[in-house]
Amino acid sequence: MAPLFFDHLVIKTEIIELINNKPEEENQKGKALQLVDDILYQGIIDHILEKLNQKHHDTFLSQVHERPYDPELIAYLKKHIGPDIEEDIRVAANKMVKQILKDLS
């Protein structure tokens, strides 16, 4: 998956190691890693939308669609949700990573 504005907040090293150490074919590992990325992306976007006032959803989603890598999206979220949004995303991402690890084990 292409770089995303929240990638610096998500630590998925354990998931990558776990998948890469499986005795599966490389293309299967790639598919598993892509699925993990998709799950994390959807979960984080859902989490943000829960925090963001609904009147800002369309603007935010349009910006994510057009520029998913843009660090200015964090600035937008800080303005419309609050200055602690990065930590909030980090905590939510860690919970998702722990759940994925549990599911993979």
* CA–CA dist 63, 76 (Å, integer): 10
Report, as an integer, the average pLDDT of 48-67.
Answer: 98
Between the alpha carbon of residue 50 and those of residues 28, 69, 74, 89, 97, the distances in Å are 33, 21, 15, 12, 19
Its pTM surpasses 0.85: yes
Q: What are the E-state strand segments in the chain? A: none
Confidence of residue 2 (pLDDT cuts 50, 70, 90): confident
